[in-house]
């Protein structure tokens, strides 16, 4: 049986950077915590917990001697003010590419434009992005939601970094019918593009695709969507344990080729176990 791993799979540089910043902090300070889950992968979050790095979700959980590491997906801009004086220090592990979306959203808003963020409104990254928008902004996850946008002279558009490229392109086209002009900041990150393109290429050549990563990981969910457009049997699993599940085990029976890819927050050892 052919088992092949997609060319680009697993940790992106933003995730590696965040883990390194948290680990380095733990090596230097007694009390280290992350604001929200550092990345969307339970294996890694558990490893950090075992290493003594807690996850906190509110200011009331913090003490003055805590060194706080901000998650890779970024935080609402108000959080920086809220944290003032509550902790020993703050280490911002927000991915630089997410920071870029914040800056571009702010730039579009400062021009007086209503900003459309293409992404999942409930995702922490998108909640952080909209905190950099002005009074008028909209979050849409696909082109079907464009109907609710009012007509405006001009819209600014940004993307959640991990959104599906085809979905983003569809929304941009649909918004053209709602205004005279648009200014687009294509903020899909390079790691997302590479993973989606490599997954699509591999999915076209195999019977079954296994997508490994957190069920709450947006980029992993989008990898599965991309693969479903060309492969009939696509399974999103969090670890090798799920390979024993009835549906997946039946699908693997008699299969001659399996492709594997993984989200940007999935550690190599989890991918290796699945293989």
Interface contacts to ligand F3S, rule CB under 6 A: 12-15, 72, 95, 97-98, 161-162, 189, 191-192, 219, 264
Give the pairing of strands 115-118 and 152-159.
Answer: parallel
Dihedral, CA of residue 115, residue 118, residue 120 and residue 126, to nearest 10: -50
| Residue 260 and residue 9 in contact, taking contact as beta carbons nearer than 8 Å | yes
Token digits of residue 93: 């592990």
| Residue 102 and residue 48 in contact, taking contact as beta carbons nearer than 8 Å | no
Of 66 and 164, which CB lies nearer to ligand F3S in the complex structure?
164
Closest CB 64 distance from ligand F3S, rounded Å: 30
Which residue is it, tokens 């922490």? Answer: 124
- Residues shown for the chain: 275
Active site residues: 125
Closest CB 27 distance from ligand F3S, rounded Å: 22
Closest CB 102 distance from ligand F3S, rounded Å: 12
- For residues 163 and 79, give the distance between their C-alpha atoms in angstroms, rounded to a whole number: 24
Of 128 and 259, which CB lies nearer to ligand F3S in the complex structure?
128
Residue nearest to ligand F3S (CB): 14
Of 9 and 258, which CB lies nearer to ligand F3S in the complex structure?
9
Token digits of residue 139: 């979050």
| Residue 191 and residue 14 in contact, taking contact as beta carbons nearer than 8 Å | yes
Closest CB 123 distance from ligand F3S, rounded Å: 12
| Residue 129 and residue 105 in contact, taking contact as beta carbons nearer than 8 Å | yes
Of 125 and 238, which CB lies nearer to ligand F3S in the complex structure?
125
């Amino acid at each position: 049986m052919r088992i092949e791993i997609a060319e680009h799979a697993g940790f992106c540089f933003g995730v590696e950077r965040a883990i390194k910043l948290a680990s380095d902090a733990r090596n230097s300070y007694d009390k280290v915590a992350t604001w929200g889950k550092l990345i969307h992968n339970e294996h890694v979050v558990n490893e950090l917990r075992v290493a003594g790095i807690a996850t906190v979700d509110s200011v009331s959980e913090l003490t003055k001697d805590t060194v706080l590491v901000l998650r890779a997906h970024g935080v609402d801009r108000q959080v920086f003010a809220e944290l003032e004086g509550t902790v020993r220090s703050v280490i911002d592990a927000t991915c630089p590419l997410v920071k870029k979306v914040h800056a571009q959203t702010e730039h579009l808003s400062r021009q007086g434009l209503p900003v459309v963020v293409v992404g999942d409104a409930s995702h922490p990254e998108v909640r952080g992005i909209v905190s950099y928008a002005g009074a008028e902004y909209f979050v849409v996850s696909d082109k079907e939601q464009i109907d609710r946008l009012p007509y405006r002279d001009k819209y600014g558009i940004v993307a959640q970094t991990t959104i599906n490229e085809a979905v983003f392109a569809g929304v941009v086209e649909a918004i053209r019918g709602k205004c005279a002009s648009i200014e687009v900041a294509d903020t899909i990150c390079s790691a997302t593009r590479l993973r989606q393109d490599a997954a699509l290429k591999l999915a076209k050549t195999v019977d079954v695709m296994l997508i490994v990563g957190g069920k709450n990981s947006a980029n992993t969910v989008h990898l599965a969507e991309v693969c479903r457009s060309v492969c009939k049997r696509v399974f999103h699993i969090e670890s090798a344990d799920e390979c024993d599940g009835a549906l997946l085990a039946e699908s693997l029976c008699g299969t001659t080729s399996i492709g594997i890819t993984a989200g940007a927050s999935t550690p190599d050892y989890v991918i290796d176990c699945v293989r």
